[in-house]
Structure 1
Amino acid sequence: MSANHKDTLFAQPHQGLKSFCFDEQVASVFPDMIERSVPSYGETLKGITELTRAFVRPNTRLYDLGCSLGAATLAMRRAVEDKPCNIIAVDNSTAMLAKAKDYLGNYHSSHQVEFVLDDMLKIDITNASVVVLNFTLQFIAPEQRITMLERIYDGLIPGGVLILSEKLINPQTQIQTQLETMHLQFKRNNGYSELEISQKRASLENVLISDSRETHLNRLKTVGFSAADSWLQHFQFASFLAIK
């Protein structure tokens, strides 16, 4: 993989701060950004491996939608072992996908990954046993989220699963405030300054739009999943398992 750099994107004051986007600058620091910003990200990836191992079926497809640098793709591929499967990694960022190819290429495997540069809302999902949305649904317009989940559900085989990780918002104001306080301290402890924290928050406003746990579960039920619940949560960050 290309050399990873420390995330200093918001370390200096920005005039006319732009909305956050997954461009070359973000791609170059993304591993550091994720590790220092998302609590239990490593545990989330380990869980994706274990859940994929439990639910993958031979001669099916596995999708990582919004694959960014391919960390979840790699976690899935490790679980496939000797099963004949097709792994498809999708992202709409040229910079992210280029680095994902680089990253996956550093790990030997008999399973080739098909990298697709496209909008995940336009991807045909068929014969899937495992689909991963690892902190990506939150970047889709809220009115399009149910459509995305319907397309995933329709493309899953019976017994297939969706692994959905998201940053949540708690409808109870006092709880939400405390979770935000703890997450801010987590980022401070990982070396982010107050300027970096405030500028990144402003950059993500209206780009990352969170739903509540209840909204996610109700949406998954509405789409048709027979069972769904969270399997991991750290502060506002949670991962769900939904079974068709």
Structure 2
Amino acid sequence: MDSIENKRIELEEMASFFDKRVDTYDEHMKNEVDGSDQYYIETAKYIPHCSNLKLLDLGCGTGLELKEIFKINPTVNVTGIDLSKKMLAKLKEKYEEKQEQISLINESYVDIEYGKEAYGAVVSVETLHHFAHQEKLKIYKKIYDSLIDGGVYVETDYVAKDQEYEDYFFNELKRIKEENKITEGFYHYDTPCTVENIIILMEKAGFKEAELKWREEGTAIIVAKK
């Protein structure tokens, strides 16, 4: 892997990063992410197909994953949480005919509570690769608590190919923050974890079963059951 050591990198605040890229986001995700021609379709397969399912979508962005989910389960009721106001506005415009089934929250899913046993399923697509292990564990615990018994969590995300790859990006983020004297705040930088570490964290959060279901290069789908 090529080192970016000694290169000056300016981190962007997370919400601002995505607000600035709202007009190009969909094309980027469809054309430049490993497995993008399939992972939205594959993700939808693991969402329960029961009538009037309550689904929590973390980091929902413009709702790219919802297109395939609505195809399989047209009655699903979605609560979407995202930091970017502009992304949520685009989602709302895109699914205007489904507005009665979609509730949007412009907040950080790290900070807010999701409720207790409120959802039959939770999904996150290409969003949790911005967090360290302890942050992920806290999120997984909230997801676990928000699910009904038998509920499922589907995570589709950028993953590290091995531990060396994972360590490299976490160390780089630490270096960049120190270089820029950043001590707090939420900034955009990719820190993917290995599938093995993700599953360990899910199990620590309480999930009785977590399993890799699909993978293409740097993108994986992991399904955890409560």
| TM-score (norm. length: structure 1) | 0.71
Give the one of 77, 84, 91 matched to 1:86. 77
Q: Which residue of 1 aligns with 2:159?
A: 168
Residue 141 of structure 1 and its aligned partner are, at CA, apart by 4.3
Q: Indicate the SS of the match to 2:137.
A: helix
Q: Indicate the SS of the match to 2:148.
A: strand
Q: Which residue of 2 aligns with 1:124?
A: 114
Runs (4+) of structure 1 exceeding 6 A deviation are none
Q: Distance in 2 between matches of 1:172 and 1:139?
A: 16
Give the one of 49, 59, 65 matched to 2:58. 65
Matches within 5 A, 1:135-150: 135-150=126-141
CA contact (8 A) 2:43 2:221 kept: no
CA contact (8 A) 1:150 1:223 kept: yes
CA contact (8 A) 2:55 2:79 kept: yes
Q: Which residue of 1 aligns with 2:198?
A: 216
Write out per-residue CA displacement over residues 58-110 of structure 1, whole angstroms, 9 at most, x where no aligned residue: 4552011000111123333333234xx531011011111111111222xx448
Q: What are structure 1's unaligned runs of at least 5 residues?
A: 1-15, 177-204
Matches within 5 A, 1:30-45: 30-45=25-40
Alignment coverage as a number of residue pairs: 194
The amino acid of 1:39's aligned partner reads D
Residue 38 of structure 1 and its aligned partner are, at CA, apart by 0.8
Q: Which residue of 2 aligns with 1:159?
A: 150
Give the one of 90, 101, 118 matched to 1:99. 90
Q: What are structure 2's unaligned runs of at least 5 residues?
A: 1-7, 166-186
CA contact (8 A) 2:211 2:222 kept: yes
Q: Distance in 2 between matches of 1:109 and 1:215?
A: 36
Q: Distance in 2 between matches of 1:158 and 1:147?
A: 19
CA contact (8 A) 2:92 2:99 kept: no
Q: Distance in 2 between matches of 1:131 and 1:81?
A: 16
Give the one of 218, 221, 226 matched to 1:239. 221
Structure with the largest fraction of helix: 1
The amino acid of 1:98's aligned partner reads A
The amino acid of 1:75's aligned partner reads E
Give the one of 91, 113, 120 matched to 2:102. 113
RMSD: 2.5
Q: Distance in 1 between matches of 2:132 and 2:194?
A: 15
Q: Distance in 1 between matches of 2:28 and 2:103?
A: 26
Q: Indicate the SS of the match to 2:95.
A: helix
